[in-house]
Chains A and B, each alone.
Chain A
């Protein structure tokens, strides 16, 4: 099992640029989550999908953030335009409601720095 795979692992970009983070969930999992981790706010749930459908995006900070899941094995989180306050670690996570109970499996994160 390869686990949740995220790319890029590190991204440094200039303010105003578009950033796209990518995620491949664990095969067979039907839930996909995007989290953001910062020192100030800790771990925050941004959005989650069930069977590729966005269920709850109430954690998305503003319209500059968008997430898509075109198929069961791929999701993107896009920030456009990026701002320095978006600097954080973004985690993708997945869960299989039938096979793994409530366990949410996290990827290793995408470290974003906006300068």
Chain B
């Protein structure tokens, strides 16, 4: 119940295309869903996050779509750029336990020029 399942494991997208990464969870107590971006040799960095009271959150080219009934959320990267090539992790935590983020297994994104 504590798992967050992430897919795909890897993704290749052409420059200008849309990258879509999906995550699913079981624990209905989760109420905070961040996405982290990790470049090689660096630590993960918060990219964007959403709470279940909204179905979508957009920040620049990055959008989280959230489907509470399906217990799924996804990251969309519009107009993907080579600089977006990185590993993306979805995560989830409960309101009273933000400290214990449960991470997905990661998606390695390569945006080809």
Contact = CB atoms under 8 A, between A and B. Distances in A.
Interface of A: 4, 31, 33, 42-43, 45, 48, 50, 55-56, 91, 93, 95, 97, 101-109
A106 B43 contact: yes
Interface residues of B, number: 19
Given A102-B49, A102-B93, A4 B43 contact: yes
Interface string B34-60: 100000011111100100000000000
Contact of B43 (A31, A91, A102): A91
A56 B100 contact: yes
Nearest to A44: B103
22 contacts: A33-B99, A42-B89, A42-B103, A43-B103, A45-B100, A45-B101, A50-B99, A91-B43, A93-B43, A97-B98, A102-B32, A102-B34, A102-B49, A102-B93, A103-B34, A103-B49, A105-B45, A105-B46, A106-B44, A107-B43, A108-B42, A109-B41
Contacts of A48: 99-100
Contact of A43 (B46, B89, B93, B99): B89
Contacts of B98: 95, 97, 101-102
A102 B46 CA distance: 10
B100 to A, nearest CB: 6
Contacts, number: 49
Contacts of B44: 43, 91, 106
Contacts of A103: 34, 46, 49
Interface of B: 32, 34, 41-46, 49, 89, 93, 98-101, 103-106
A107 B44 CA distance: 8
A71 B32 CA distance: 29
Name the prevailing secondary structure of the A interface residues: strand
A91 B46 CA distance: 14
A55 B98 CA distance: 13
B49, B101, B106 — most chain A CB neighbours (10 Å) = B101
Nearest to A33: B99
B32, B98, B104 — most chain A CB neighbours (10 Å) = B98
Nearest to B100: A45
